[in-house]
Chain A
């Protein structure tokens, strides 16, 4: 009699095995939804950086004469929804940020220093998106040093009173 004779003598009952995949599918779906929602928040954000001049602040030093390469002013347009752009006090020929970009690019092409200071003087009631669009036009044209002319007074209170 062979060694396994006893096994042949007593066959065990066979059992059909099927792994239960339902809990795993549940978990994977939860993970998928979680990452889909999480990714949509983080994907498209970027940054625009600038340097505030170091000669301001508490007890600041001597008065410094600022001679910007370009000075751009932003005023609210009639009706308040848009913005009027002016360069060196003269209204910009054209009506959009693409025109501003073309003007600034022309300055670069004519030899303006891209590291020269571009100063934005912004009316407090101008929409923030227009300020960023102006900043963006400067960066697109190649100017690397965009700064803001700041009023020493806090003007937010005036604006909040006047908001519609």
Chain B
């Protein structure tokens, strides 16, 4: 008597190619989207403040983020002011802030400056804010707990 034959085996093959395609599309999407969001913040060595609130972008509302960045290859030279990814001079920044203030009187100026810079470079921005009528000024800082001594 012949032994019973095993049931028919269904051929299975897991096709991962479509999933890889979709995941690659997602990665590209998130990389581009993240660059759009983060572009306003350059990587800077910010000063620390333990009382700083979390940077909630919805709470900040309409804003102009000004980065004050030292050129690492020439630290003795004056820093450059960058809005978005465009370096601008102070007169151009004044024009930009004036235009933003005309569009929205509650616009906020976010100043992100490197910790070792002389205050004068930040004061120039505060002066422009005062002259253009922008009252909402915010400093971007690092939220780390550490003591600072003069």
Contact = CB atoms under 8 A, between A and B. Distances in A.
A151 B5 CA distance: 96
Interface residues of A, number: 71
B51 interface: yes
Contacts, number: 219
Q: Report which residue of A54, A136, A158 has the largest number of chain B beta carbons within 10 angstroms of its beta carbon.
A: A136
Interface in A111-158: 122-133, 135-136, 139-140, 148, 150-152, 154-156, 158
A interface SS class: mixed
Contacts of A122: 119, 123
A46 B55 contact: yes
A50 interface: yes
Interface string B35-62: 0001001010011111111110000100
A104 interface: no
A58 B131 CA distance: 5
Interface in A23-52: 23-24, 27, 30-31, 34, 38, 41-42, 44-52
B115 A47 contact: no
| Top 7 A-B pairs, shortest CB-CB distance | A46-B52, A124-B120, A19-B14, A46-B143, A129-B115, A129-B47, A132-B47
Nearest to A130: B150
Interface string B53-82: 111000010000000000000001110000
